[in-house]
Structures are given as structure tokens and as C-alpha cells.
Structure 1
Amino acid sequence: MNTHEIGTSAKALYQALATRKPIAPLTDSDPEMSISDAYEVQRLMMELRLRETGEHIVGKKIGITSQAVMDMLNVRQPDFGQLTSGMRFANGATIPLDGLIAPKAEGEIAFLLGRDLSGPGLTSQDILDATECVMPCFEIVDSRVRDWKIRIQDTVADNASSGAFVIGEGRVDPRSLDLAAVSMTFERNGEEIGRGLGSAALGHPLNAVTWLANQLGELGVSLRAGEIVLSGALSAMVVARAGDRMRIELQGIGSAEVAFA
């Protein structure tokens, strides 16, 4: 993609975000779009979002961490997006669906960084040493691409299909847990509808955050102290509908709740 095409794609995605009117997949008009092109679209789209809304970056999210999603998109690597202050909702908050397009909820383990991380070359131990705590989290993914008809390039360009997130109750030292063995239960309207393990995120949540820190390092970007990192879904996505109340419980960490209207 040339500079003009990248800029046009970024503006189209931001317009879809602002108007809640989804667009056709970018890869329909440019099937040769590379993942590098897609990250450049993401960068410009997020610059536009921050400029237009006054939001600021509060962290990162990692996506495509499960084998099922990798198989669906026919890729063998995760992706990442940026979290903004406007995406964060309080635990137990009701999220208005008219601010989103086609939202789906995921339960995750979130990392709060206590110091900066600059890759490449970082190990899982480096990530562990830099983590202040882990927390239960809902990520609400959303797609500005119509009907979720995405290839990897489409979701990368669309800020890894980020929508909103909720940090729940519980702040735990990750050195006290086997994060891969942490179990999660997912309830909707009081009924259990899913279970998962920490190992669903690239085999171990630390693997996911290590990948992110090193990938960002290759781009000359550091993770900063105080940032939140969402490490990947532990079970299948759940469509969010008006009237739904959802709750996750992460064994040894805590719980998170969110509602939709």
C-alpha cells in the first residue's frame, strides 16, 4: 500500500468508529495488504482517534492468542492493539451498546506493569519481574468491519478489534500463582456458559506479554510503567446483548462484572 492508500484506510476505519457504521473489509479492495501495512493503518487511525477525542493511551491488548482463532484467520501469530482511556469502564458498569457495532465479550488476565519494558530480547522472567500485579478483566471486542468478515490484516488495521475493557476486583502478585493453571468461569445472567484456563493464551499469559514486549521493541516502542496489558481470551467470545449481565471468576485472582444496555 502506498502512503495515500494507508491514510485513506485509516480515515475510513475512524469514520466507522465515530459513526458506528461498519465498512467492508479493507482486504476486499486491497487483497495484497501486508500485516506491516495494516499496523501502519492502525497507527494512523489511532493517532486520529486520540486527536479527535482527547483520549490517551493506557495500555495494550493482545489478540489471536488461541489456536481456534489462529485457525479461523489462518495465521500463526498473535496481534496487538492499543487501549485508550475512553475504552475503560469501571467494574460492574453498564456499557451502552449504541456506542459499539457488534460487541463480543472475553474473559482475560490483565497485567499491570510496575516498570518499563523495552524489547527485543526480553524473557518471560523479565516480564514477571516488571509486573506489579495481575487482575481479572473483561475485554469487549468490536469490529468496524461489517459482520466480522475479517482477515488478519483487517483486524490489525482495526486496532485488533478493540472496543472496551473492564478491570475487575482483585490485585494479585503473579509470582504467587501458576498463571497457566488459573481457571476461569464465565457466567451470563447467572448461568455458567464457559470455562477456560490461563494456558489458552499462547500456552501461558506470560508468553503472550513477552511476545508483545518484543514485537513492540522491534518497532522502537516500549511498554511503560502503569500500563495495562490484556493477555488474551481464556474462552470463546460471547455476543453482548442488551440486558445481559456477565461475570467472570479467575481462581486465585478475583472477579469482574459488566452489563450491557
Structure 2
Amino acid sequence: MSDNETANETVLALAARLREAEQSRRTIAPVRNEISPDDAAIAYAVQRANVDARSAKGERIVGRKIGLTSPAVQRQLGVDQPDFGTLFASMAYGDNEPMPLSSLIQPKVEAEIALVLERDLTKDRHTFADLIGATAYALAAIEVVDSRIDKWDIHFVDTVADNASSAMFVLGSRPVLLRDLDLAGCAMTLSQDGEVLSRGTGSACLGNPLNAAAWLADRMVQLGTPLRAGDVVLTGALGPMVAVTRPGTFTTQIDGLGSVRATFTD
């Protein structure tokens, strides 16, 4: 068997294992036990296999998420760049729409700024002007992340293979033009039952959420799947993640964007 055939078998086996973990809500051992911890190409191939599997079942891709935008988290995982995952319509929830905890394994929430595009992003290298011109509006958002890897014991290839630890996302309902926002300076709080659990600012996301969006736009063009009009882009966390341990409502408030609520039910 050739090296390519062996690699392909590994990709398909790991992809199937991650699908089963998500469906059964039982975690698996880190995938880095079976691929090199530095082999991002294989990890993204695993992710792509599961994206293709979902698409083949009729699920609709609605955008992308950017992960590992915190320099501290990058240092922790030994990488010097973010990662990305794919968003499906089945993952999207509205503000305060109930989300069943029973469908998740070990969820956490993080506050983000979402961009919704009105033009394609197809250049080899995108500038802030390109991104601003292509963005219809921004929304406050909460991403629900959930690792299929046991006890969140993840390195870079683990989270990449696992669709960047994606699970669900909640978009706010107050669209705001970028010219009316201070993307780097906006303050964020994430609270539950009135208790603030996480704080941050736009600058926590690679200095400015548009830095993360530019990285993603360039990367997707390199892969031959550029961002398109209508896509949702979750630009990355503005503060520390918070574990979801019980039913209840998490509320994110972001200066200039208002609030958005993620409500978990039994």
C-alpha cells in the first residue's frame, strides 16, 4: 500500500470516528495519537471529509468560523496562526432560541463578532478595505464550542480535525454597519444570571477582528473555496471561554452591537 493510500485510510477512519463521537455524544482519544502533531494537512483533510459527508446528506454550508485567535491560546498549542471550521445551517440558532444540552458533550461558550458578507472575497491577499467593502453588517454572536476529544485534551491537529471544535452558534438580531463600530476597542461581557463570567475587547481577536477575517479570506482562496456573498464569518473569541454546566441563559453584551443570548435547556 502506498503512503498516499495509507494516509487516505487514516483520514477516513478518523473522520468516521469523530462523526460517531458526535452522534453518540461520547468522546474519543486525541487524534494526534495517530497522526503527526505537526501534520495540519492531514488534520484539515479529516475535517474536509466530514464537511463533505454532511454536505452529501443535504446540509447547507452558511459560512466559516475562525478559532485560535488568542495569542495566549496559540502559544499554549504551539502554533503561530488561527484555524478555521465550517458552519452549517443546522448549527445556527436565533437569539434566546432554546438549545438542547442533550445534543452536546462538553460545551463551552464564547462571545464573538460575526460578519455577514454581501460580496465575494476572491483576491489572493485581502486588505481591510476589501473586507469592509465586502461586509454587509456585523452582529453580536455567541459560539458554542464542543470538543469530541476526551476532556478537551487538544492540540492543534485535534481541534482542526474536529471542525475547529464547532457545535452551534447564535446570532444577534441588530445588524450594524462597520463604519458605526469600533471593532478593536469595543468592550464585551459574557454573563449568566447577572454574573459576569468573561470580559474582553475586540483587540483580543488578533488585535482586530478584521485581521482574523483577512487571514480566513486569504486561506479560503488558497484552498479554492473562497468566502461568498451571504456567508457568516465568526471572527473569533473576544474573551475567555466559559463552560456550560447546567441549563440557563448566557448573555453577551458588545459595545455598539447590543446583546445576544444563548439559552440551554434540559
Q: Deviations over 1:84-110 (max 9, x none)?
A: 011001110221111011100000000
Q: Deviations over 1:38-76 (max 9, x none)?
A: 111100011112334x32100100000001211221111
Give the aligned partner of residue 33 of structure 2.
Answer: 28
Give the aligned partner of residue 146 of structure 1.
Answer: 150
Tell me whether 1:46 sits opposite 2:51 in the alignment. Answer: yes
Tell me whether 1:103 sits opposite 2:116 in the alignment. Answer: no
Give the aligned partner of residue 177 of structure 1.
Answer: 181
Task: Specify the code of the residue in structure 2 equivalent to 1:174.
Answer: L
1:107-256 equivalences under 5 Å are 107-256=111-260
Q: Is the 8 A contact 1:241 1:260 kept in 2?
A: no
Q: Is the 8 A contact 2:12 2:46 kept in 1?
A: yes
Q: Any stretches of 5+ residues in structure 1 without a counterpart?
A: none
Percent identity at matched positions? 43
Q: Is the 8 A contact 2:198 2:241 kept in 1?
A: no
Give the match's secondary structure for 1:108: strand
Give the alignment's TM-score, normalised by structure 1: 0.96
The partner residue of 2:97 within 93, 101, 104 is: 93
Give the count of matched residue pairs. 260
The partner residue of 1:70 within 71, 74, 81 is: 74
Q: Root-mean-square deviation (CA), in Å?
A: 1.2
CA distance in 2 between partners of 1:202 and 1:36 (Å): 23
Q: Any stretches of 5+ residues in structure 2 without a counterpart?
A: 1-5
The partner residue of 1:9 within 11, 14, 21 is: 14
Give the match's secondary structure for 1:150: coil
The partner residue of 1:84 within 85, 88, 95 is: 88
Q: Is the 8 A contact 1:14 1:49 kept in 2?
A: no
Give the alignment's TM-score, normalised by structure 2: 0.95
Q: Is the 8 A contact 2:111 2:239 kept in 1?
A: yes
CA distance in 1 between partners of 2:54 and 2:208 (Å): 32
Q: Is the 8 A contact 2:171 2:260 kept in 1?
A: yes
Per the TM alignment, residue 33 of structure 1 is displaced from its structure 2 partner at its CA by 5.6
Q: Which moved more, 1:189-198 or 1:98-107?
A: 189-198
Q: Which moved more, 1:186-195 or 1:146-155?
A: 186-195
Does the C-alpha gap of structure 1 residues 101 and 123 become closer, same or farther in structure 2, counting only changes over 3 Å?
Answer: same
Task: Specify the code of the residue in structure 2 equivalent to 1:141.
Answer: V
